[in-house]
Each structure stands twice: as C-alpha cells, then as structure tokens.
C-alpha cells in the first residue's frame, strides 16, 4: 500500500483485490512512497475489563491512560476474539493466521507444524526489518526475525533471563523488572534499527500472567481501594453442564494462598489448603536481590500478618482473596500501562507515529472474578473476548468497531500493510477494510466466529469444546471421555451467560442455524476433535 498517511482521506476510491488493499491515484505519490511500520504489543492474560477505554466498573478505579491514548487516536474493537483461549495456541494464531488444528499448535505442549507460514518470514521477504522482544512461549525458534530477545517459557517477573542471537542461544539474567526490561529492549531496537527499511516490532509482555507480581514502586498502589465484586461472583452454574462445575479455576477453591496471593507465613494448623505451588513462589522470591526482597517483604508481610490474625474463613476469606488478587493484577496492569506510554512517547518524540501502525491486544481474555473464577480457557465471553486497540496514520480518533474480528486476522493485516501476498494457508482476513470504513463491517465480512479449546486433561481441568458465535447467539459443544453436551446463549438477553437456553423452544431456529454453521466450519476447515 502506497502512502498510507492518505489512507482515511481516500476511502471512496479504495478497492480490494486478493489479499491486498488498493488505493486510488489520489493516494499514490511515487516520490514519497512508503509502507507503514508496525508495532504490535501483546500482553499475556490482559482482560478487556482492565482497560478503562472499555468502560468496565473495575477499570474506573484503576484507569489506563496510556492504553486509552490508542483508543483516543484510533479504533477500539468491542468484538475482538481469540480462536483458542490459551497462550501458546493463541500466539500461533497470531504468527500464522491459521486455526489451531491447522498450525498443529492446539495445546501448550503440541509442537507447531514446522511448515506453517510465519508472518515474520513474509514481512522480512517484503523488505521489513523484524524483531521479537519478550515472551515468545512457543515450541519452536522465532522464525523470520532479524533480531529477537526472548524469555524462556513463562519467564520471571524479577531479574528475568533472556536469550538472543548475541547470547549464542544461552539465557542470561538481567537485573530489573520484566515489563520495564522488555520495553528497554524494544526501544533499543528502534534506536539501532536500519533506517532504510520499514520495521515490524513485536513486543510481547509476560505481564499480567499468573501470579501477578507487581514492580517495587507499585507494591502499595490501590491499597486503599476496594474493588467491586463482579455481578456473577456467586454463580452456582445451575443451568450449565459438568465443565463449569468441575473446572479448577475457582478463586475460593483453587487460588493458592502462597503462590497466587503471596502469603508466605502460612503454618501447619492454620486450616488453609495444601499449597501445591508454594515452593514455586518462594523460588521467585529467591531470585530477587536482597534490596528487592527487603522492599517486597516490607510491603506484603505486615498485610499478611494482619490478615492471618483475623482468622478469616468462609465468605470473609473469599472476599479477601478476591481483593488481594485484583489489587495485584491491577498493579501489574498499571505497570504495563506506564511502559506502553513510554513506548508511545518514544514513537511520538521521534516522529514515527506519522508512519507507524500500533496495535495493542492480549493473547486472550481473563476472568476477573466473574463466575467466581480466575484464568481463561472457556468460550464464555470473559476469556473468549480480548482487548484490541489500533491506531494508524491518518486514522480518525475515538472510533469504535463492532465487527467480528479474531486473532487469526493479525497476520493478514500486517501482510496487507506490507503489500505482501497472503499465503493460501492463512485463513484470517485483513482488518484494513474494517478500519477504512470507520469500524463498520464491509460487504462479505464474516458473520460467525469459530472457537476450539483442546487442552484437557490439563491444569484447571476445563473440558474440550468448540463452538460458534454470531455476536449475539453462541453455541458450545463440550466433549471428551466424560461424555458430550451442548450449551446455547442469547448474549443480548443473557450477557453474563447464566442461562443455558439449549432446550428453550423460542431459540430453535437460531440453534439450528448455529449448529449448521458449526458443522460447516468443521467440514470446510477439516476440523477434528483430536
């Protein structure tokens, strides 16, 4: 695409052919032809509820002004979703533009198909300088990147290890906090980049992944704030099947006092459950320098002792758990917001926003106590839906889109920007036509989303399931050795997905329509239950 700074101005003369957006002559300037740079920022487990631009009550008490900057100068997508709400498969969707069963990356432990096309490879072929900074978390080498600086697996919040081409494949510890260090390395790439080429910079944060360890300068943040309990906090799953009843992601039953909530003073006889990951948290503390640990314990130890002295049980203990969880999570979100602001400031101060597209998203959504849960994995809205903020040169600010978009669309979008041909294996669709129409769905845009979760048996014990959604109605099919069953929801009448309406006659027509669409997806995309 030539001279994308004219992108919005030239909408009437825009057409589409193949995987490439074509602009009319009003946008063509042979003397100053250029392609946009790409900055793609992805956090891990960042719920849309925790970005104040989305207007959720939770975020009103903990605003995210820097992330909101992207919405103010670009577009907020209100119906952005993932294909598989799990970190590694979701990242594969980003890199390949393919569904999980097509790339082979179905679970945390499945290796990706080595022949799967990576968007980074095609961007580099198109003349882009490419870089991957932060959390890679895939079972393969970072293909198609001129530079990378990546964490091992989940990585650590404090004094994390990174490897790069310069370290010869070895992980080397760096002093500091992961979110800050990842931003440091992203800015270093921008400083040292080849200025004769456009660039595609992928910045992947570890935060706010479990166990939500805030930076030292934010340990007291929000301590005087009481966050509101979600409306569905006490959900009893009365109309849902066994998956909702048998999950192991309950704040009450499965959130750990030591590992998740940082209470290291638990002793025998206190009545709290066995801490499976307690040693894991103590190992994280041991990675801190003496100075870091002193500040950490000065903040948490008095609070923990005060809580233990109250001998909390039942509902009081549950509410304390929720508040500690949300306080830590939102502190970590604040650290992300600060570092995103730092990166945006660099782009602005160096004149790069005029020819750079900036994307912020997460690898999936996350439960902020809804249904009494933390984590993700389900096709229910809180984990299925992900935040997506995009700003691009010439774009009118403050726009909102209700188009159905998915993480398989990112790779085709970037190739569209690069004037690169989309390989046939990529099944996603470029978002540029949506952006060019002020967020409205163009003619022929998708009417349905397909979802598939495979990782069972595994941590959190969520049954395998697939399903389709048209934005209002949703059909889920749970399956496995435990048996199979279906759930159906009307998101307009039941936005919290409390009433499984699978047997209600008034929905028979919509149920049949979604079932036919689910069958079509499975047949055309050659889906197996695996």
The pLDDT > 90 percentage for the chain reads 88
Fold of the CATH domain 450-524: Arylsulfatase, C-terminal domain (3.30.1120)
- The reported pTM is 0.94
Q: Do domains 36-212+329-431 and 450-524 have the same CATH topology?
A: no
User: Which pLDDT does position 273 carry in this prediction?
Assistant: 65
Token pair of 479 as six digits: 């399956």
Please report the sign of the dihedral spanned by the C-alpha atoms of residue 218, residue 223, residue 226, residue 229.
positive
> Domain boundaries in the chain?
1-34, 36-212+329-431, 225-326, 450-524
Which is nearest to 250 in space by CA: 267, 232, 268? 232
Cα distances from 161 to residues 156, 220, 284, 287, in angstroms, run 7, 26, 13, 11
User: Which pLDDT does position 9 carry in this prediction?
Assistant: 38
Which is nearest to 52 in space by CA: 25, 71, 38? 71
Cα distances from 433 to residues 245, 370, 380, 416, in angstroms, run 42, 34, 28, 10
Distance CA 345, CA 158 (A): 25
Fold of the CATH domain 36-212+329-431: Alkaline Phosphatase, subunit A (3.40.720)
Averaged pLDDT, groups of 10, the chain, 530 residues long: 44 33 31 74 98 95 98 98 98 98 95 93 98 96 96 97 94 98 98 98 98 98 97 97 97 94 84 74 95 98 95 95 98 98 98 97 98 98 98 96 98 97 96 97 97 96 98 98 95 98 98 98 92
Distance CA 131, CA 41 (A): 12
């Amino acid at each position: 695409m030539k001279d994308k700074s004219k992108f919005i101005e030239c909408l009437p003369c825009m057409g589409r052919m193949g995987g490439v957006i074509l602009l009319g002559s009003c946008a063509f300037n042979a003397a100053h032809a250029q392609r946009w740079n790409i900055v793609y920022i992805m956090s891990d487990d960042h719920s849309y509820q925790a970005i104040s631009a989305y207007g959720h009550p939770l975020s009103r008490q903990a605003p995210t002004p820097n992330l909101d900057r992207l919405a103010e100068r670009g577009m907020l997508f209100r119906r952005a979703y993932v294909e598989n709400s799990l970190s590694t498969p979701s990242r594969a969707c980003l890199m390949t533009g393919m569904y999980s069963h097509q790339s082979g990356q179905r679970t945390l432990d499945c290796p990706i198909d080595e022949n799967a096309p990576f968007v980074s490879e095609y961007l580099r072929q198109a003349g882009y300088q490419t870089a991957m900074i932060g959390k890679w978390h895939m079972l393969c080498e970072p293909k198609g990147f001129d530079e990378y600086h990546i964490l091992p697996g989940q990585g650590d919040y404090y004094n994390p290890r990174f490897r790069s081409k310069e370290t010869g494949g070895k992980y080397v510890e760096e002093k500091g906090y992961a979110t800050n260090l990842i931003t440091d390395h992203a800015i270093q790439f921008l400083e040292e980049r080849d200025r004769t080429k456009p660039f595609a910079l992928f910045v992947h944060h570890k935060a706010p992944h479990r166990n939500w360890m805030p930076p030292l300068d934010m340990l007291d943040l929000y301590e005087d704030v009481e966050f509101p309990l979600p409306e569905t906090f006490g959900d009893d799953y009365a109309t849902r099947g066994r998956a909702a009843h048998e999950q192991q992601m309950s704040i009450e039953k499965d959130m750990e006092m030591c590992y998740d909530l940082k209470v290291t003073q638990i002793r025998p006889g206190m009545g709290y459950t066995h801490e499976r990951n307690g040693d894991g948290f103590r190992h994280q503390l041991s990675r801190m320098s003496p100075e870091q640990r002193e500040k950490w314990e000065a903040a948490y130890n008095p609070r923990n002792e005060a809580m233990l002295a109250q001998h909390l049980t039942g509902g009081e203990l549950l509410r304390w758990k929720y508040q500690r969880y949300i306080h830590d999570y939102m502190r970590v979100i604040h650290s992300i917001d600060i570092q995103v602001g730092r990166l945006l400031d660099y782009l602005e101060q160096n004149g790069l926003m005029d020819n750079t597209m900036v994307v912020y998203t997460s690898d999936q959504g996350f439960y902020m106590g809804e249904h009494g849960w933390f984590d993700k994995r389900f096709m229910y809205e809180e984990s299925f839906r992900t935040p997506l903020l995009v700003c691009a040169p010439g774009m009118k600010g403050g726009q909102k889109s209700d188009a159905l978009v998915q993480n398989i669309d990112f790779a085709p979008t970037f190739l569209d920007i690069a004037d690169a041909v989309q390989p046939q294996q990529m099944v996603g669709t470029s978002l540029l036509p949506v952006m060019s129409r002020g967020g409205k769905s163009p003619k022929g845009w998708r009417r349905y989303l397909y979802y598939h979760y495979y990782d069972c048996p595994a941590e959190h014990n969520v049954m395998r399931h697939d399903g389709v959604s048209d934005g209002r109605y949703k059909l889920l099919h749970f399956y496995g050795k435990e048996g199979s069953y279906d759930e159906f929801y009307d998101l307009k009448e039941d936005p919290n997905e409390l009433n499984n309406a699978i047997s209600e006659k008034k929905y028979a027509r919509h149920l049949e329509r979604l079932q036919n669409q689910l069958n079509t997806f499975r047949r055309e995309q050659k889906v197996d239950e695996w």
